[in-house]
Amino acid sequence: MNHAPPVEICYENMCFLITHNPTNATLHKFTEELKHYAVTTLVRVCDATYDKSVVENLGIRVLDWQFKDGAPPPDEIVYDWLDLLKTKFREEPGCCVAVHCETGLGRAPFIRQKRRGAFNTKQLLYLEQYRPKTRSRSRPCFRDSSVLCCIQ
């Protein structure tokens, strides 16, 4: 099966790689792409179709944050994503975080301008209406460089 090539998006000190979901049969080519883009963290937002230990053995952290295809992410995944980015790009400015869903279209964020048809109507509505929320009133929150952060 032919897949769209990975899409790299960089903004200030942040780089993201949006890819398709590999299988064990295509894992070698996939890991070569991850190395080429110097990926340090990989977020899988779909069911696993390959052995993540192969990726982890390259020193790449793999996070499994599955949610329903075609739907916006649940609040907890949004919070975890924002926490990851805040920590990751503070500790390793310029590093690359990869994200993939089943086809590299439906759930992988940030790519509509780079890959046509990447978001469905439900996802676009979610993004248009998204407003940052705090996790809970019991958790202290603070602002840092215009990013709202809540301590767990």
* DSSP letter assigned to residue 25: G
Query: What does the pLDDT look like over 48-104, one tens digit per residue?
Result: 889 999 999 999 999 999 988 777 788 899 899 999 999 999 999 989 999 987 654
For residue 143, the enclosing domain spans 7-150
| SS3 label, residue 67 | coil
Query: What does the pLDDT look like over 86-98, one tens digit per residue?
Result: 999 999 998 999 9
Token pair 């890991």 in the structure block, residue: 31
Q: Is residue 128 part of a domain?
A: yes
Q: Is residue 64 part of a domain?
A: yes
Q: Is residue 81 part of a domain?
A: yes
CATH number at residue 34: 3.90.190.10
Residue 123: the pLDDT is 60
- The structural domain count of the chain equals 1
- pTM score: 0.70
Give first-to-last CA distance, the chain, whole Å: 42
Q: Is residue 23 part of a domain?
A: yes
Q: Is residue 140 part of a domain?
A: yes
Residue 43: the pLDDT is 94
Q: Which residues are catalytic?
A: 69, 101
Question: What per-residue string of b and e applies to 93-110 under the rule 16 or more CB within 10 Å gives b?
Answer: eeebbbbbbebbbbbbbb
Q: Is residue 1 part of a domain?
A: no
Q: Is residue 2 part of a domain?
A: no
Band of the pLDDT at 148, cuts 50, 70, 90? very low
